[in-house]
Structure 1
Amino acid sequence: MRKRSVRNGMRFILAALLMIILASFYHAGIADLLGLSIRSEERLYSLGIFWAAAIGGYGAVMSVFGFILPGNARDTGVRLLPLFLLIMTAVMFFFFLLATSLNEPPRPERLSPGQTITI
């Protein structure tokens, strides 16, 4: 087993999980921070999910090849457990955010430019 390849693949998987969390749950906050329009916010969400899937797929393939290929002498000092625990923490955080988002009351929709609020 090539632990370096497995570790690099796991790093890509962790990055993909973090991108999915940011794109799924914090896209409105990122759009407000950057001053994006609603259309740009939708594009941010779709591109975030797309690139997270691409990076996660690449990380999975890299990890599988790392498991298949024979190891080197340089791989003896590589530790995989800390990164595995980080991935499990990110997965648990994702499901925590998913469960809390299902129990939230719905947010009011944004006003379009030129719309007014009547009280």
Structure 2
Amino acid sequence: NTIVVMASSSKRAALSSAYFYARSEHMSKRAIYHQLISKYGDGFSKHAASYAVRHLHGISWNRNALRSAHFYRHNEHMSKRAIYYQLISSYGDMFTRSQARYAVHHL
């Protein structure tokens, strides 16, 4: 038996946006959360954004980091070292150190 939990419309909308950012923009979980709560972004409540990032399933964060790394390598012509720091920066992509290492290693 599957238990279906009914989420509020705000939570469902935040989750929908979170999936877009994860699958289409290849963002990190932390960057998605910040995008969702930003008044310059989606403007969701912290509660709705937390719900959304907790319920993202089937996302490979390593793959997202690698896709971002490829973009920086081919479009910005950045070194592997610069890419690593861009990926982990709180002003950049906000991937974990492990995810950034994976991405740089697989470039």
**For this structure pair, what is the TM-score category when the shorter chain's length is used for normalisation?**
0.3 to 0.5
TM-score (norm 1): 0.31
Q: Higher relative contact order at CA 8 Å, sep ≥6: structure 1 or structure 2?
A: 1
**TM-score scaled by length of structure 2:** 0.33
- Asked which structure has the greater CA Rg, the reply is 1
